[in-house]
Amino acid sequence: MNPTGTIRRRNKLTKMSYKLVVMGSGCVGKSALTIQLVKNCFVPDHDPTIEDSYRTQLIVDGQSCQLDILDTTGDEEMLSRRHQFMRWGEGFLCVYAVDDIKSFVDVNIFRDQLRRIRGADRIPFVLVANKVDLGNSLVTSALGQEAAKSFKVPFVETSAQTRQGVEHAFQQLVREVQRARAEALRNIPEPPPRRRRRGCTCSVM
């Protein structure tokens, strides 16, 4: 308590937590994107991921957010693990590489599996075209934008090497989760009004 008798209070930013999953085919740069966000560095040679988890802070629209990120494998043999992380996550960053046409086609597989496992069409989801710094792009920006438009999701072009679009991709995903949370709150039915109990009316003689 200070001499005037008033109590000083600190304004603390409340950190909201978000469970995010980075998914996609193998060798598209999922780990490089995640490490670039978390550690601000580019790792060109990274062992194929089975599953890694990271925690980091990110400012989104002026708000401090805690991100719990699961970096997943694209190996089809790990299908049971894929089902688990699709149930765990709130938001999904689906990555393909612009120099790999198959990884772009595989996006449809990941999205269909996600919708089937979650039993919903609208899931927080961002489509990411990675490795845009390369000169040998086989998947054009127009193709990526068209796919995202058909999915009705945001589209972000990134480079894990130059850090282009990396923060923006995760910020967009946080915004998608925030929209889903707000929509879920709006859809909660209001409780029925309480009935007043009628008191006993007694006459005093």
pLDDT over 70 (residue 2):
no
Whether the pLDDT of residue 195 is over 80: the answer is no
pLDDT at 31 > cutoff 70: yes
| Per-residue confidence (pLDDT) for residue 73, from 0 to 100 | 78
List, for residues 138-167, the tens digit of each pLDDT value.
999 999 999 999 999 999 999 999 999 999
- Coil/strand/helix, residue 82: helix
Q: Tell me the pLDDT tens digit for each residue of 85-97.
A: 999 999 999 999 9
Region 134-140: what's the mean pLDDT?
A: 91
Q: What is the CATH class of 16-180? A: alpha beta
pLDDT of residue 32: 95
Give me the residue spans of the domains in the chain: 16-180
List, edge to edge, every strand of the sheet that includes 125-130.
51-60, 63-72, 16-24, 91-97, 125-130, 155-157
Helix (H) or strand (E) holding 3: none
